[in-house]
Amino acid sequence: MKSQKTAPIDSQSLLDGSRIRKDFPIFTQSIHGKPLVYFDNAATTQKPQAVIDAMLRYYQTQNANVHRGVHYLSEIATSLYEASRVKIQRFLNAREFKEVIFTRGATEGINLVAQSYGRTHLKRGDEVIISGLEHHSNIVPWQILCEQTGAVLREIPVSDQGELLLEEYERLLSKRTKIVAVGHMSNALGTVNPVKRIIQMARRWNARVLVDGAQAVPHLPVDVQDLDCDFYVFSGHKIYGPTGIGALYGKAELLESMPPYQSGGDMISYVTFGKTLYNTLPYKFEAGTPHIEGVIGLGAALDYVLGLGLEKIQAYEKTLLAHGTQALLSFPGIRIIGTAKEKGAILSFVMEGVHPHDIATILDRQGIAIRAGHHCAMPVMERFGLPATARASLAFYNTREEIDALIQGLERVREVFKA
């Protein structure tokens, strides 16, 4: 981590959510006659005008294919496209720009590593370690890889607070461990995992480590060199950028040694019917015309986030989380699921006598968007013996007043259900 400590919390340095939200045009509308309170940020985030403008500008004035034409527009499009790659390189503090591969999102990044690295490096009896906090997208690709190779999937168990049990992890590690794949932050509970420690422990057994940063990058600073992870993936739409775009960071020497994931245009340097020479990094992994406007939008989103400052975002969201946690704790019949010491701004909870789905419907009628369900993390739900939770996932454009509106909304739930 570039800086684990948060910025000092005082009124001068604290972000102002109510001012920031003016950058997001979606908040000018009302939902069911009420101002929109958007608490589903772990599913996807809203987009600032700067991101929308960048994508619009591209289509209105810069549209061309990249890496091909010698004409003016193609050069502009290519330089914008590659500038975004450098932004991501800096954002993650990768050593080289070629270590940044554009993907459709975190899910595709994990699949790429599982299929390209995993299939060429794993054999029967090898082991892949994931954790009990993973999103399905960091479970299923490894299950498939294990089926294909005969490797075995192991899970790091989870404590009652929603923290990974590192002593159990220590016991799982062995010379059979080839890959460790863990989420940086849990989408279901908000737990921020000690990934640096997890990586150091894996190093002793020469295991490769992939970190799923889909939930972490919008909320905390990430430094892949400091973490010393082998792979890091994230999705653009969870960090205020467009859907359908994300990035995979991989150490250059690993990416060099891996075969292409998909094949087609852009990933080749020379083709005859007898033989194809693959392009160099990062293009070897970017087959076909890419999601150019997505890449440009993602670059604009990172500019926006860095403009606010991740330390400041982290500090502000911490105050929101503390306020929300306090309010839910004093609400009769509500139990917070996930009480890890290190937590991002996610409030997962259940209410006695009321199913999360009903909570979500009643809140929606008050303009409050939350998520109810298993959050695509069914093993997490099973661990806590719950079919579902209600989840309010916060962002820097949320405010204390909105959390108060959530609490009022929950009062209404209680009224309806006489709970």
Partner 1 sequence: MTDLNELYQEMILEHNKSPRNFQVMPDATKKAEGYNPLCGDRLMLYLKLDNGRIADISFQGSGCAISKASASMMTTMVKGKTKAEAESLIEDFRKMLSREAGSEYDAKRLGKLAVFSGVCEFPARVKCATLAWHTLYSGLENEAKIVSTEEGGQNHA
**Site residues for partner 1 per CB under 8 A:** 42-44, 135-137, 187, 214, 238, 353-358, 361-362, 365, 371-376, 378, 381, 387-388, 412, 416-418
C-beta atoms surrounding 121 within 10 Å: 16
Please, which residue, 71 or 418, has the CB nearer to partner 1? 418
324, 392 Cβ separation under 8 angstroms: yes
Side-chain half-sphere exposure of 7, counting CA atoms within 13 A: 20
Q: How far is the CB of 407 from partner 1 (least distance, A)?
A: 17
DSSP tag of 288 = S
Burial of residue 168, with CB atoms counted within 10 A of its CB: 0-12 exposed, 13-18 middle, 19 or more buried: middle
145, 128 Cβ separation under 8 angstroms: yes
Residue among 14, 26, 308, 376 flagged as catalytic: 376
d(CA 247, CA 360): 32
Q: How far is the CB of 187 from partner 1 (least distance, A)?
A: 6
Among this protein's residues, is 229 annotated catalytic? no
Please, which residue, 189 or 267, has the CB nearer to partner 1? 189
Dihedral (C-alpha) 77, 80, 85, 86: value to the nearest 10 degrees?
140
Please, which residue, 135 or 219, has the CB nearer to partner 1? 135
Q: How far is the CB of 162 from partner 1 (least distance, A)?
A: 17
Q: How far is the CB of 387 from partner 1 (least distance, A)?
A: 5
Parallel, antiparallel or unpaired: strands 177-183 and 127-131: parallel
Please, which residue, 237 or 343, has the CB nearer to partner 1? 237
CA distances from 215 to 44, 125, 134, 189, 343 (A): 10, 31, 11, 11, 11
Secondary structure of residue 374 in the 3-state scheme = coil
Please, which residue, 290 or 367, has the CB nearer to partner 1? 367
Please, which residue, 189 or 362, has the CB nearer to partner 1? 362
Q: How far is the CB of 201 from partner 1 (least distance, A)?
A: 27
d(CA 25, CA 9): 28
Q: How far is the CB of 59 from partner 1 (least distance, A)?
A: 27
Sign of CA dihedral 185, 224, 237, 13: positive
Return the active site residues: 376
